[in-house]
Amino acid sequence: MSIRGKLLDFKQRLQDRKMYSIVIVVIAAVAMWGIYQYKHAAHLRQELDNQYNRAFYDMVGYVQNVDTLLIKALIASTTEGIAANLQEAWRQANLAQTNLGQLPVSQEVLANTSKFLTQVGDFAYALNRQNIAGKPLTDEQYKTLEKLHGFAVSLNKSLNELQNQLATGRLRWNELANKGTKLFSKTSAEMPKEQFENIDKTFQEYPTLIYDGPFSDHMVTTEPKGITGEEVNIEQAKQSVIKFFGADKVKSVDYVEEHSDNTNTIKTYSYRVTFKNAPEDQTANIEVTRKGGHVIWMLYNRPVQGENIDMNKAKEAGKKFLESRGYKNMVDTYYLKEDNTAIINYAYKQDDVIIYPDLIKVKVALDDGEIIGFESKGYLSSHRKREIPEPKISMEEARSKINPKAKILSSGLAIIPTEYKTEIFTYEFKGKLNNSDFLVYINAETGKEENILIIIDTPNGVLTM
């Protein structure tokens, strides 16, 4: 039958009333389905667009506020005035940063803007803390604040431009978001992206090392203090891996190729280890520093069936392990129990002072007490022989700074880390108030209350918050 014949045949069949209505119904159903799907998709797109717009407008508002608050802080003459403005600037910068993270613009384009907002926030926060302590701004800090304000103004300007384009409909979020659509990739998609990039470029000249806040760049590149010793080669490091696990257990140690441009502050060798008493695919991963051959971390992923030893035995096993690997004077501080394993924190103790920054985490399998995890980044980055001074205030004086209603259970000396990666020498008091256990740290030199931690004692571990 020719095509024409088929068509005629079909036409004839259509004349059959039943057939006709069935075809109509099917077409109508398909059309309705299509319309429904289209509307549904359009609706979802609109909702998404609204979310993007909300995040964007919110962010613009917060950036504007940061701008104003910074100038207010610069104008304010009293410490209280500066503190109040800076605190609010910190909050608003954080909110702006949160909203920035919700925009459908690729991260690399936003990175510097995000960094700027974080740094404004952290700087404001740090200054605010300093103000609360009664110390006024130094000239240098004042200048930095001025500079930051200048950047805030220019960011504000660029954002306003962008906002205008969005408001007049020349720009659409889905054009930014749909990077995949070829149609837009060359023309319109480039434009808005460039706009954001321009904003970002302003901040590329932004100095990276301007303050000592928690997120400043130089923190990322802190020189590890605990990594001592001579450079070791792959073979020497392999020997220390075998020693770490015990020669009687290790079956094979394979070096894992590193990328040559490993520019991390801590250079390492990686190994994959198999064991004599375990199946071939059950391996442990371990990394050893090139300098000194210290184990920086180890993970042995093996199933742990059942719980045969209690926490005290686990703590002992961890301590024995550390001692035999050359980590002397470590005391257990906190632990966490999950899935038949215990993660125990050990801190270094020097002359009866607990040094919390020198932290090693040990993961103990509770079926046979084997060590299946080890993490010593804290220890390696901060451990050294410290000159610990005599405390300037006595234990009693420090005790008197704590709420008299609290019951003190124990006390001692401790060095604690701050969020600025510095260390403070303190008295540590463990106490109880209204049925909650807490730790209070009183500066052993100034008597200032440095930190309060609430201890959560659960069946699964002792945690602090």
Partner 1 sequence: MRRLKIVIFLSLVFIVCFISSFEGGLVITSLSPVLSLGSTGKSVEEMQQRLKNWGYYDGDVNGIYDKNTFLAVLNFQKNYNIFANGIATRDTLDAMGLTTVVRSGAIYAEGKGVSDEQLLARAINGEARGEPYEGQVAVGAVILNRTRHPDFPKTIAGVIYQPGAFTAVSDGQINIPIDPNSTVVKAARDALNGWDPTNGCLYYWNPATATSKWIWSRKIVKKIGKHYFGI
Site residues, partner 1 (CB under 8 A): 13, 18-19, 22-23, 25-26, 29-30, 33, 94, 97-98, 101-108, 110-112, 114-115, 118-119, 122, 177, 179, 215, 217, 220, 257-259, 261-264, 266, 268, 270, 285, 287, 296-297, 299, 301, 336, 338-339, 343, 361, 373, 375, 377
**Cβ closer to partner 1: 334 or 449?**
334
> Cβ of 399: how many Cβ atoms within 10 Å?
18
Closer Cβ to partner 1, 118 or 158, answer by number: 118
Nearer to partner 1, 153 or 336 (CB): 336
The token duo for 134 is 């009664």
Q: Are the CB atoms for 122 and 213 separated by under 8 Å?
A: yes
Closest approach, Cβ 232 to partner 1, in A, equals 17
- Residue number with CB closer to partner 1 (258 or 449): 258
- Choice between 266 and 393, CB closer to partner 1: 266
CB of 170 to partner 1, least distance (A): 21
What is the nearest approach in angstroms of partner 1 to the Cβ of residue 443? Answer: 26
Place of tokens 């103000």: 131
Q: Least CB distance from residue 401 to partner 1, whole Å?
A: 32
Using the minimum distance from each CB to partner 1, give the nearer residue, 35 or 111.
111
Q: How far is the CB of 434 from partner 1 (least distance, A)?
A: 26
SS (H, E, C) 208-258: CCCCCCCCCHHHHCCCCCCCCCCECCHHHHHHHHHHHHCCCCEEEEEEECC
Location of structure tokens 């609706």: 43
- Nearest to partner 1 of 23, 167 (CB atom): 23
Neighbours of 221 (CB within 10 A): 10
Q: Which DSSP string corresponds to 335-393?
A: EEEETTEEEEEEEEEETTEEEEEEEEEEEEETTT--EEEEE-HHHHHH-----PPPPSS
As measured in angstroms, the least distance from the Cβ of 205 to partner 1 is 16
* Minimal distance, residue 119 CB to partner 1, in Å: 6
- Which residue matches tokens 């990739």? 185
Phi and psi for 375 in degrees, rounded to 5?
Answer: -145, 120
d(CA 384, CA 387): 9
Instruction: Report how far apart, in Å, the C-alpha atoms of 273 and of each of 184, 258, 367, 370, 403 are.
Output: 50, 16, 21, 15, 53
